[in-house]
Amino acid sequence: MTTMTCDAIRDSLPEFVREVLPAGKMAVIESHLATCAECRAERDVITVLIRPATVPAGLEERVLRAVRKQWRPTFSPGRLAMAATVVFALVTAGVISQMGLLDSNSRAVEDLAGVTSVDWTRGDPVLLRGGLDLGALSEDELLKLLEEMDS
C-alpha cells in the first residue's frame, strides 16, 4: 500500500466523499484518515458542503403554494394616510385656484415710470393660462411685452 501526504489526501477528499475514486485509492485515504485528525476534520467539512441537505417533508409544496399565490395589494395605515394627504392637497389647491385667493391682492399691470408692463408672476389668471388678448394692449404695452420677452 502506498502512502500519500496530507496535501495529496486533501486534494482527493471531494472525490473520496462522492465515492468516485478507484477502490485502491479509497483504501489508502481511509487508512490515512484513521490516523490523521486534521484530514478527518477537513473530510467532515467537505462532506457537509458536498452532500445535499435533506429537505423537510412538505417544504417544496409550501414554497410552490407561496409562489403561486396571487399578489393582493394591501392598504397599510401609512399608505392610506399618504393617499389622503395627496387628495387633500389637490382639493385645497383647486379651491384656492377657483376662489382666486392667490391673485386677490396683486395687480396684473403695474405702472413703472409711465410705462405699462405686464407682471407674469402675479396677476390676472388669464395671463397665467396664456389667454392674453394682444389686441386689447396698447402699442406701448406691446413694446414693453416684447422687451420683457427678449430679456
Write down the domain spans for the chain. Answer: 6-50, 109-150
pLDDT of residue 141: 81
Residue 143 to residue 115: CA distance in whole angstroms: 10
Q: 102-139: per-residue pLDDT in tens?
A: 554 444 444 444 445 555 555 555 544 555 566 677 78
User: In the predicted model, is pLDDT for residue 145 greater than 90?
Assistant: no
pLDDT of residue 29: 93
Selected residue with higher pLDDT from 105 and 6: 6
Amino acid at 51: R
pLDDT of residue 62: 87
pLDDT of residue 80: 85
Ranked by mean pLDDT, the top range of 34-43, 56-65, 137-146 is 34-43
Selected residue with higher pLDDT from 79 and 120: 79
pLDDT of residue 73: 66
Q: Which three cell numbers stand for residue 6?
A: 496530507
Selected residue with higher pLDDT from 99 and 40: 40
Which contacts of 18-21 are long-range, i.e. CB under 8 A and separated by 24 or more positions?
18/50
pLDDT of residue 108: 41
- Block residue for cell numbers 475514486: 21
Q: Which three cell numbers stand for residue 115?
A: 410705462
pLDDT average, residue stretch 143-151: 80
Q: 50-64: per-residue pLDDT in tens?
A: 877 777 888 888 888
pLDDT of residue 105: 46
Residue 43 to residue 26: CA distance in whole angstroms: 13
pLDDT of residue 27: 93
